Each structure stands twice: as structure tokens, then as C-alpha cells.
Amino acid sequence: MKVCIMGQGYIGLPTAALFSRNHCEVVGVDINEEIVNNLNKGIIHIEEPGISDIIRQSVKKNTYKASLTPEKADAFIITVPTPYIVENYSCDLSYVITACETIVPLLEKGNTVIIESTIAPMSTDEVIKPIFEKAGFKIGEDLYLAHCPERVLPGKILEELVHNNRIIGGVTPECSVKASEVYGQFVEGHLMLTEAKTAELSKCMENTFRDVNIALANELTKICAEIGVNALDVIKLANKHPRVNLHSPGPGVGGHCLAIDPYFIYAKAPETAKIIKLARDTNNSMPDFVCKYVEKIIPNGKIAVLGASYKGNTDDDRESPAYDIIARLENDGYEIAVHDPHLERDNFVSFGDAIDGADLILILCDHNEFKHPDYKLISEKMQNPIIFDTKNIIPSVPEGVTLYNYGNLYEI
């Protein structure tokens, strides 16, 4: 089977790697020429365990190649970004539409087209299907169209793409069967066949569920800071109940899924989806909450920000609340030095340089490197070491270091 994958990012590239590892001929398409050139040398641009080795081997075996343009194939998979439109929170399908229109001249009868990009409910039927029908194809008869969203955890993408159950949402039952045959090349989880609109809403609701529950934990944190209760103890004790699972609070919600997908549902029914919108507003308010308590800890000075990724132990900083917090603090006159061992940015510095002369260490990401920092170096570099841990990852600190987290904000 030959597979053409449009987009070689956090989902497209791992998917390409797995198809190529399972004896498929894969063409990975991306608009970034530097990324394409590097991939053809076996050099990947994302931090994700296992992918680099697979791509290098696949390039050598000629089972994978990257390209700026698509080629004829048996199956086409669309994995391009779907941001939201700020004015009305609706799903921006422009990248998906462009990708679909680009492959139209290459399509042949019997091909399968799969949209993996997360899209708003009804998008496949109302927007994407007409593109191919206009080109003369009969969906479900000579062209098979489906929406098959991914559900993976950064850091474990390869493992979860293989073992997680997969939603297969065909425009017709025949489309679902054909799409399942494509994923059957490597997926070992259960292939759950349904219709496209159900698949679309299921994916959006998976991320909305998590966003809403994180918002509940974040709101609890605000309440506890206001009335003088340890939020972390409340969560720990409440979760001893056999049917309670409060999520972990943090500095906000990032990533291309949780921070965006709930809006796709809200935009479809804004008068009804009130809980969804309130949860989004709550999580979006956390950078302000963090900055408010930073100002209470130190009214001015230098802040060493640890972490810009939205998720620990990855280089994924899409929609990261860290950037909002950094911008707000800089606007308030603080000197900011950012350190993130998983991200290469021209303005980021080493851990030692970040804490040198700092008045506060602000932890915004739960990288393993931050859970047990070098306290000897901290004491040497900082006159009065203070840590504000918004990810609640440091259990204790040595004498001479002050630790604030979401359990003791009321003490500030």
C-alpha cells in the first residue's frame, strides 16, 4: 500500500513512521522546505521517542520520503493544523481545504481519503465531501472518505498510535470499512467504525472533557487561595473517594487539542454550550492568576522562568500558557530569563544563567529536570531563593529556600 500523508508535524510524522515501518510506501508532504530536506536525510524536527530511528531506517530502505508535493497513492491522510477563528471560535478549515484541493488531481477510483486533523462536527459532510464530489467522485462508491481522529499522548505517540482504540468515521459504511483497512496496517487497538459526524464530535468531546475537569481544579485553586485552604490537600483527599478523580491545576491549558477543540463545539451551539465556554474562560484566566501571585511574592526584579513547553518532557509549545505569562510579566517591568532544556530558542538561556541574580524561580512546566533542581547552585546564584511552582512538582525544598505552590498561596 502506498500512503501519502499531508503534514509532517506532531501527528503526521509519527503516522508516516508507523506506516513505513509496516512495509508501506510512504510520501510525507510538508510545505516547509527545510523540514523536507532534513527528513530525507533522516533528521527529524520534533522530540518524540522512537521516531528518529524509524525514519532513518525507512529513508535507507526507501519506504519513506518527504516531499513538498503529494504523489498518487492508495490512501491520502490529512494531518494539517486546524486553528480556531478568534472572532467566533469556529474551526478554521482553510489548511484542510487546501490539502484536499491539492490532492484532487492525483485521486483515482478506489482511493481512500482520511481526515485526521481535528475538525468541528459536520465538517466532513458539509465542507470536505463537496470538494471531492465537485471533482466528479461518488463518495462511498469510487472514493472513500472518512474522519479518523488521533488520540495520543506526547512522549508516547508511537505506542498509543499502535495500541489505542481508533475511531473510524466514514461518510458511508463502505468508507468506514475502507479506512479501517488502511489503519489495519499497524493499529493493534480496536477499530471502532461509526459515521463521520459522530467521530468528529467524539474527538472534540474527549478533549473538552479534560479541559472542563482541569478548569474545575483551577477554579478550586482560586477558591482555596481566597478562603485560606490548601488546594493540593483538598484534591489529594477528595481523590481517595472511589468515584472522584479531580484533575491537577496548573498555569493554564496549552496544546493544539485541549486549548482549541472545545471552541469547535461551542461555536456550533453557543447558546447551549455554556459549561464548555466557562471552562475555557477559566483556564484562559490562569496566566492572570499566576501573574497576580508573582506580584505578591516580588513586586519587581528578575524572574527565572523554567519551562515554555505546554507539556512536560516534550518540545511541544503550541498554545503554551507560558508565553502569555512571560509577556504579561515583561509588560509589568520584570526582567525575564527563560530556560527550557527541551526547546531551542535564540532568547532562551541555560539554567545557571536563568537563575543568576534572580529574585524568583517560576516553574511553568513539569519537565523531569525541574523536579529536583540543583539547590546548591540556586543558593549560590540567588541571594534569597524563592520558588513558585505552578505545576506542583517539587515535594519539598532545603532550608533557606522558600517554596510556594497551589497549596499555600493563601500564605502570601
For cell 473517594, the residue is 241
Residue 154's pLDDT is 84
| Nearest Cα residue to 181 out of 24, 9, 70, 29 | 24
The pLDDT tens digits of the residues spanning 121-135 come to 999 999 999 999 999
Rounded alpha-carbon distances, angstroms, from residue 215 to 242, 259, 345, 361, 401: 21, 11, 30, 25, 30
Report the DSSP beta bridge partners of residue 112. Answer: 75, 144
Active site residues: 203, 257
The pLDDT tens digits of the residues spanning 204-224 come to 999 999 999 999 999 999 999
Q: d(Cα 280, Cα 84) in Å, to the nearest integer? A: 13
Q: Which DSSP string do the residues of 252-309 spell out, in sequence order?
A: ---STTTTTHHHHHHHH-TTT-HHHHHHHHHHHTHHHHHHHHHHHH-SSSEEEEE--S
Average pLDDT over residues 143-162: 93
The pLDDT tens digits of the residues spanning 38-94 come to 999 999 999 899 999 999 999 999 999 999 999 999 999 999 999 999 999 999 999
Report the DSSP beta bridge partners of residue 387. Answer: 361, 403
Q: d(Cα 262, Cα 276) in Å, to the nearest integer? A: 7
Q: How far apart are the first and last CA of the chain?
A: 62
Rounded alpha-carbon distances, angstroms, from residue 15 to 70, 149, 289, 386: 16, 12, 38, 43
Q: d(Cα 85, Cα 92) in Å, to the nearest integer? A: 6
The pLDDT tens digits of the residues spanning 165-204 come to 999 999 999 999 999 999 999 999 999 999 999 999 999 9
The pLDDT tens digits of the residues spanning 266-283 come to 999 999 999 999 999 999
- pLDDT surpasses 90 at 155: no
DSSP structure class, residue 127: I
Dihedral angle, C-alpha 186, 83, 156, 13, nearest 10 °: 50
Report long-range pairs for 96-100 (Cβ below 8 Å, ≥24 apart): 96/123, 96/128, 97/127, 97/128, 97/131, 99/6, 99/7, 100/128, 100/131, 100/132
The pLDDT tens digits of the residues spanning 354-411 come to 999 999 999 999 999 999 999 999 999 999 999 999 999 999 999 999 999 999 999 9
- β-bridge pairing 64-67 and 166-170: unpaired
Angle at 309 between CA 226 and CA 263, to 5 degrees: 70
Residue 409 phi, psi dihedral angles, 5° rounding: -65, -30
Q: d(Cα 396, Cα 402) in Å, to the nearest integer? A: 10
DSSP structure class, residue 126: I
Going by pLDDT thresholds of 50, 70 and 90, the confidence category of residue 153 is confident
Residue 230 identity (one-letter amino acid): N
pTM value is 0.93
Strand order across the beta sheet in which 25-29 lies: 64-67, 25-29, 2-6, 75-78, 111-115, 143-147, 166-170, 191-195
The pLDDT tens digits of the residues spanning 216-260 come to 999 999 999 999 999 999 999 999 999 999 999 999 999 989 999
DSSP structure class, residue 104: G
CA atoms in the 13 A half-sphere facing the CB of 245? 4
For the chain, domains (ranges, CATH) are 2-195 (3.40.50.720), 230-412 (3.40.50.720)
